[in-house]
Structure 1
């Protein structure tokens, strides 16, 4: 018990002395004759107050492409010097700084000129930040600041886009004669708190504006902070690009199904319906703009159009393969050989001659002129004792059978040709989109280099 009393006696004077030191500093600086926190902190009334602004962005709260607004969380620091509030630390037990309150000291009136919320226009407020006063009159005002500002965005390259926004600050109705306002930048954090944005660059610029007021030319200063953000596209690739691509390619796969497949048209229609529902869901994800909409929207539209066109083309090929009308183009020998022999061979399909050999066991030397079939030309397993070998296909196959066989071959050829055309069209769309996004990447690298 005696030990506690001794420690209390030793510590009490030190605590009392520290408290008295801060109190005496306040009495020394704030109880000066004629001191007023409403007056500018200069001894010579003709001198301007030097105010420096520093901004550090530490989080991205929201970026609204539709409303063209950006909400950022930053740490704002204002520094200036109050020539009236000085003291010698040696006279106050080495205390070289003290925390003061907004109603005790002069503070600059700085506004965020393009703020979307009225309460966010005033940078200096009693509920925002802490003021620290140093022995030489230097004043630091720092605190967090969440602001929503306008930001002109270009969403053409969404989701591989970069956006450059700005924060514009200006003294409120104070010319350069009253305040010398400048902005400085500090090293920004390597990774800001955001789920899809990365801070690429951050810079500051000071400007002056001459305004004629009361027949005199007044100069006003301001500061603009530019920050460039890059979007992380991984989420949109997995939720938009990959599903739409797979649905489009699956709709092309209907051309690989045999024309006599009963589910062929049903599969194509199902793919179109699935892509339609997907488009409705994507509408809530894609940003909207009256001009220069996202490039990915045109990609989705083109894939949707190709998927829709696959259905009528598939139906047209089925009509060719199993329709009642005769294919008139086969009357010409050149087209007949092209469609029944040359193209099937190039497209890895069974030719007309091979089909005849497989189904009827008849050997022909050409697709449109059937030669005599001899025993030597037939496989040995096809030769039977005392069997009469037909001389030509026309003697074995009826007109209807030949027409159906020809239509079947032409239908398969058209399926492969249409599939090839659709794949080429899709690749052209992809190449155009990739080249445009590649040009964006080149522009970003040039800007970063600058």
Structure 2
């Protein structure tokens, strides 16, 4: 099978390739094509993959290209992990928003809207090309904002595009371990939108163990989300929120921490990765070792500002493990290609799953996956507070899609102004002006 990785010069590509190296079953991926607009980044990542594959029999062959159509032709799966505007664009998103006193995080609030406005047109072009050049391919979307981008692509690819994220899986695995269960055997009852969801139950051996966790403050405060949100708030909610909900529940504190930080997250990653790719221009640089050291620093500093707000301290060693989006992607490909049925938390069209949203809305829920794709599982309704937040953010996503389709700056202003974390129409107007000034890719907004 052929896998095309879009954003193939991206820093996290070796995680995906590493997962493929561990797949020895019949029908596995045999050919990987990396696509990126930056040939130097492609060369750096290709070197890392070559060292990963050293000594591994029958490792998937790797080729690289800057020609998108060439990468897509004949693909069985397309993994999309592009970053329109690069990390410089992410840093600019943060800078413009924070200057207006609102959040600039890449998937939440003003920063997420700005990122979506410049990413959706590119994602739609990719979807159209896939439909033309590889109509039987399945698209696995990891491009942020993942739910919004998946919904944009689904208008052209239907259910053949599926979004993935490691946040819900990482949360579920941490909770399962705290409860003494096997994370690989626990069922995670999780519902919401991408980066806006709640773990409402965790069944081990058919029994929901979440009430036991919520009733034990010491146990509840022993893992990352407990330290981040505080045990009292989690007990009040009666659920465990995705870590990104910290930006909503503690917004003033998060904005202040970002404003006072020596460097925003996007600026840190921009500089860190610039050092990595610069080092990789040296032909004698140990590619895999250099990449691994950079990745370890990246994981250790994740959401540092939020942990500072909560007084949560440094990340505990057991919390450094992500949900393993590369393993989710591999499990998804296996289930579709081999009809190996799996249950995974994915971003898919709602259908009738959440009655508060329409059928085309992309949501993040447990899905049963087989050769026919991903099928959202029935879930109980969200409580009123969560329903209100989900509906408000989905309405914003729809305005972003409408602005990207029409090029209307007035619609873009509406998207910003309707977001729960942007508190003024005047601020929304200044945000649109500010983002157009720093992002040439937003010149289409008139």
**Range into which the TM-score falls when normalised by the shorter chain:** under 0.3
Name the structure, 1 or 2, with higher relative contact order (CA <8 Å, separation 6+). Answer: 2
TM-score (norm 2): 0.19
Structure with larger Rg: 1
